[in-house]
Amino acid sequence: MDYLCFRTLCCKGPPPPRPEFDVVCIGLTGSGKSSLLSYLCSETNQHITPTTGFNIKAVPFQNAILNVKELGGADSIKKYWSRYYQGSQGVVFVLDSAASEDDMEGARTELHSALHHPQLCTLPFLILANHQDKPAARSVQEIKKYFELEPLARGKSWVLEGSSVDSMEAVRESFSQLIQLLEEKDQDSGRV
């Protein structure tokens, strides 16, 4: 009897594999993409610099692993974003909710472009209104209205959430919502 109890507790074998999803992460320089991803991966984040080119991170979650391809947001790099979209199963768009009007307009233009891009338009989107901890931050409702998300993203799977490195539990929850959308899309495509 003790042997059976021991085998039950100790000899279960490896846990079942978690599904992996390939996600592209875009947004203007300074929106906080690198910081959020570093915090999610529990990396040291003392010397985070803007991404030049791209960066790939495997971000572990309890029920899935997101292979996130973060693309730099500088003007010289944005024109090459579409070269990295192929194979993506979801999109994370990070914007600085405390940005200047010009930067907000630039972020709006890039989000609209991404939502209409042939390789991205059918994918689930997570839109993070980052830097919610700053005094000048616009609310999630203001961002939703400014970016015209209701009419623009009608019929698409998307989530808009506020974020900040000071509230990583909320960021993790936002990514969990994206994983749920990815799983639903994966199940739907499996039924066809």
Owner of token pair 């990295």: 84
Model pLDDT, residue 192: 41
Model pLDDT, residue 111: 95
Model pLDDT, residue 1: 46
Q: Which CATH number fits domain 18-191: 3.40.710.10, 3.20.20.220, 3.40.50.300, 3.10.129.10?
A: 3.40.50.300
Model pLDDT, residue 82: 93
Task: Sketch the domain layout of the chain as residue ranges.
Answer: 18-191
8/11 Cα distance (integer angstroms): 6
Model pLDDT, residue 10: 58
Distances (CA, A) of 57 to 11, 12, 32, 148: 32, 30, 15, 30
Model pLDDT, residue 119: 95
- Dihedral angle, C-alpha 25, 20, 161, 153, nearest 10 °: 70
Tens place of pLDDT per residue across the chain (192 aa)? 455 545 555 556 666 688 999 999 999 999 999 999 999 988 866 677 777 778 899 999 999 999 999 999 998 899 999 999 999 999 999 999 999 999 999 999 999 999 999 999 999 999 999 999 999 999 999 999 999 998 887 788 999 999 999 999 999 999 999 999 999 988 877 644
